[in-house]
Amino acid sequence: MPATDTPGASRSDAERNRRTLLNAAAEALAQNPGASMAQVAEAAGLTRATLYRHFSTRQKLLEAMRAEALERAAEAISGARLAEGDALEALRRAVDALAPTGVRFRALLAEGADQDPSFLGERAEVFAPLAEAVRRGQEAGRIRADVSPAWVVTAMAALLVAGVRTAPATDCDGHSVADVVFGTLTQGVVAKG
């Protein structure tokens, strides 16, 4: 029996196809939010049957993209080493890591994810560790103490959404978004004097 007929190989192929489909969907929908399921399958180099085996509807595909976006955002925040160094530097690392994830999943904004209370609640949980970095910055006198850490994190999230929405659909890796987001955020949160 060929190796591809073994259950482990089949699961591996299925996971690889799922990953390929999610990557293709992120790219196709970033370029054209109205891209069809057939266009997503074509972009992935897979058949529509394969796409529908993994995601029976466009809604299921978008839900999987949303879960992946939140997972990648959590990884980005974790990788930003929020407890290390100056709090503003830690927040800058977080913005630098989050912006490319936002750009990658911009299609979710076209689908209204940023208006969905469920998504906003999940995103708030993912972004929660940022509040501790803000508190640390407030204690050090680097971030204004007259605004709550929750407000700063909410403002950061809103600026990331705005930056992703307005970034060019092509040739944008998120670095220019990160620069604008962090610059705008810090002008409003840096302590005076």
Q: What are the structural domains, with CATH classification, of the chain?
A: 1-56 (1.10.10), 65-193 (1.10.357.10)
pLDDT value of position 1: 42
pLDDT at 35 exceeding the cut of 50: yes
Q: Does position 6 have pLDDT exceeding 70, yes or no?
A: no
At 116 the pLDDT is: 87
C-alpha 12/C-alpha 16 separation (Å) is: 6
Q: How far apart are CA 144 and CA 46, in angstroms?
A: 52
- Please give the structure tokens belonging to residue 19: 């990953």
Note the pLDDT tens digit of each residue in 160-169.
Answer: 999 888 887 6
In this predicted structure, what is the pLDDT of residue 106? 85
Gap between the terminal Cα atoms of the chain: 73
DSSP per-residue string spanning 26-58: HHHHHH-TT--HHHHHHHHTS-HHHHHHH-SSH
